[in-house]
């Protein structure tokens, strides 16, 4: 007996999802425990796996399986799965294999050049690679197709359904709201936060405290791990295998802690997806993913109710640096607002200004209005104008992020989208859970986690990110909730 068309299609879709999980496992291993000498062999292994996945998604077999389906007989969930697989396939299949290979090769070379350029503060080492990547990404955008806005297909890969025309005015209004707020806040006297950089934050105790926070958030450590890496990240192999990493420094009391909260926010999303093993059960967008991490890291993790419960526990583990540190001083220290040069170290108020600079610059690069040669100068000029600080070196400026060396154009805005979604989702959660903040103040975080699981995580890709948010908040992507949240918190 041969399997019916639906079973054959579903099996194919599950295999695609399973291969994606292995691809992620390989990535996680490369960033954590892989021996240094294995890099080249690992590169070949990953390229081989990607080729198999590309063929499975774009090849004729899946086309046949899709054609054999009787669409009129599918239930809603089945129809969603077909739509998602078809969309993935349509996105990929117009990109010629030659371009896929050229991009992969150019990215690998550019990342190596970027490391050296950053180490020696020499933008010129990266310049030709970046020029090549901009050219290839423009080709890719044209191959994917657009209605005249080349940036849209690049943005759509990360934030399905969002367009440059919709995003630009939202980010403009966000900037107009943030600039005066930053000016007012940075004029305030700085808090006494020297205890945070004391050389007394035992890293094993930091790791143990991070696990305590993860458990309180409801992150299932029997379905995930927390390890250490140079750059913290979250990697979901399946909802029952979610790998988090953090970084811990003896002379930094907050970096590892907030990295753990951030990555655990991503991790709860991955664990909260339906465990049906299909491509439908993955995150709806990069921005929505980031909303989950920023919600836990900033909205919850930098709030007074949260620390009214957890500060005594932190102080018990770190008696020396935390001696005499009150809740007020702790909150002032972890919420210090100050324009700075480095995005990943930025506070939650200035953070989006870092994103705006990158968005404007990459848009100009893709439109051909700015040459790569002029990029460092344009970067410095914008930092001075938008944030009031000028990078002394390119290493502290245009060379600080890896994204462009990976050919990632259309990715940076998803960080700002995530911050906006986080604020909007919090507003909706406060309405739905009237005792939310009392629960947080008792260290009870399961109510919020359950609400997010039902309203965001479990939806998977059955809806686009903005639709998921609109269904619970009543509005789509908007800057107003984020600005209201920041004003209420920092003007208090």
Residues engaged in binding Zn ion (CB under 5 A)? 293
| Shortest distance in whole angstroms from residue 68 CB to Zn ion | 40
- From CA 41, how far away is CA 221, in angstroms rounded? 31
Distance CA 18, CA 56 (A): 12
**Nearest distance from residue 193's CB to Zn ion, in Å?**
24
Q: How far is the CB of 290 from Zn ion (least distance, A)?
A: 5
Q: Give the DSSP letter string of 90-102.
A: HHHHTS-HHHHHH
Distance CA 270, CA 234 (A): 9
Give me the least distance between CB of 294 and Zn ion, in Å please: 7
- Is residue 479 part of the annotated active site? The answer reads no
Between residues 318 and 351, which has the closer beta carbon with respect to Zn ion?
351
Nearer to Zn ion, 151 or 296 (CB): 296
CB of 293 to Zn ion, least distance (A): 4
The residue among 24 and 293 lying less far from Zn ion, judged by its C-beta, is 293
- In angstroms, what is the minimal distance from the CB of 243 to Zn ion? 14
- 10, 159, 263, 297: the active-site residue: 263
**What whole-number distance in Å separates Cα of residue 27 and Cα of residue 34?**
10
φ and ψ of 235, to 5 deg: -140, 110
Closest by alpha carbon to 210, among 200, 198, 221? 221
Long-range contacts of 330-335 (CB under 8 A, 24+ apart): 331/302, 331/304, 331/307, 332/191, 332/193, 333/191, 333/192, 333/193, 333/195, 333/196, 333/254, 334/196, 334/254, 334/258, 334/302, 335/302, 335/489, 335/490
Residue ranges in 368-479 assigned as alpha helix (H): 375-382, 413-432, 436-441, 446-455, 465-473
Q: What Rg value do the Cα atoms of the chain yield, rounded?
A: 23
With tokens 């299949």, the residue in question is 93
Decide whether 107 or 293 has the Cβ nearer to Zn ion. 293
Nearer to Zn ion, 293 or 400 (CB): 293
- The answer to whether residues 234 and 263 touch, using CB atoms and an 8 Å cutoff, is yes
Q: Which residues 6+ apart lie within 8 Å of 465 measured at CB?
A: 159, 160, 161, 284, 285, 287, 288, 421
Of all residues in this chain, which one has the CB nearest to Zn ion in the complex? Answer: 293
Q: What are phi and psi of 70, to 5 degrees?
A: -95, 95
Helical (H) or strand (E) element with 491: none
> Which tokens sit at 412?
């940076």
Tokens 């939650």 belong to residue: 348
Compare residues 404 and 415 and give the one whose CB is closer to Zn ion: 415
CB of 247 to Zn ion, least distance (A): 14
Sign, CA torsion 53/55/59/65: negative
Contact 421, 452 (CB under 8 A): no
Nearest approach in angstroms of CB 418 to Zn ion is 7
Nearer to Zn ion, 285 or 293 (CB): 293
Using the minimum distance from each CB to Zn ion, give the nearer residue, 58 or 298.
298
Q: Which active-site residues does the annotation give?
A: 263
């Amino acid at each position: 007996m041969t399997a019916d068309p639906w079973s054959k299609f579903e099996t194919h879709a599950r295999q695609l999802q399973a291969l994606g999980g292995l691809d992620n496992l390989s990535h996680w291993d490369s960033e954590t425990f892989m021996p240094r000498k294995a890099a080249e062999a690992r590169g070949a292994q990953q390229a081989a796996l990607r080729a198999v996945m590309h063929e499975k998604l774009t090849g004729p077999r899946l086309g046949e399986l899709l054609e054999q389906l009787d669409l009129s007989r599918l239930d809603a969930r089945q129809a969603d799965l077909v739509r998602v697989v078809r969309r993935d396939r349509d996105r990929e299949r117009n990109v010629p294999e030659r371009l896929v290979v050229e991009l992969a090769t150019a990215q690998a070379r550019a990342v190596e050049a970027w490391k050296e350029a950053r180490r020696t503060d020499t933008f010129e080492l990266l310049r030709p690679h970046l020029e090549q990547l901009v050219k290839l990404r423009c080709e890719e955008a044209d191959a994917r197709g657009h209605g005249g806005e080349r940036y849209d297909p690049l943005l759509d890969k990360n934030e399905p359904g969002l367009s440059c025309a919709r995003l630009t005015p939202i980010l403009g209004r966000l900037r107009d709201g943030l600039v005066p707020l930053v000016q007012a806040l940075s004029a305030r006297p700085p808090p006494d936060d020297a205890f945070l950089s004391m050389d007394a934050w035992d890293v094993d105790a930091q790791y143990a405290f991070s696990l305590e926070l993860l458990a309180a958030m409801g992150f299932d450590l029997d379905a995930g791990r927390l390890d250490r890496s140079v750059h913290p990240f979250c990697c979901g192999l399946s909802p029952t295998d979610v790998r988090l990493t953090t970084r811990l420094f003896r002379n930094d009391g907050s970096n590892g802690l907030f990295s753990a909260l951030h990555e655990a926010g991503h991790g709860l999303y991955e664990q909260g997806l339906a465990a049906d093993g299909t491509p439908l059960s993955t995150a709806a967008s990069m921005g929505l993913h980031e909303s989950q991490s920023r919600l836990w890291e900033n909205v919850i993790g930098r709030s007074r109710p949260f620390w009214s419960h957890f500060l005594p526990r932190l102080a018990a583990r770190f008696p020396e640096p935390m001696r005499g540190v009150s809740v007020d001083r702790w909150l002032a220290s972890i919420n210090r607002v100050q324009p700075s040069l480095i995005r990943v170290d930025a506070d939650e108020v200035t953070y989006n200004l870092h994103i705006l600079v990158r968005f404007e610059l990459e848009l100009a690069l893709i439109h051909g209005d700015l040459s790569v040669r002029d990029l460092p100068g344009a970067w410095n000029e914008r930092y001075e104008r938008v944030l009031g600080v000028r990078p002394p070196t390119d290493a502290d400026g245009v060379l600080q992020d890896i994204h462009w060396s990976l050919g990632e154009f259309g990715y940076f805005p998803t960080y700002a989208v995530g911050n906006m979604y986080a604020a909007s989702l919090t507003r909706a959660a406060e309405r739905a859970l009237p005792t939310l903040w009392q629960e947080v103040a008792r260290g009870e975080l399961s109510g919020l986690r359950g609400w997010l699981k039902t309203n965001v995580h479990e939806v998977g890709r059955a809806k686009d990110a903005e639709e998921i948010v609109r269904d619970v908040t009543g509005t789509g992507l908007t800057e107003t909730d984020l600005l209201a949240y920041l004003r209420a918190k920092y003007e208090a």
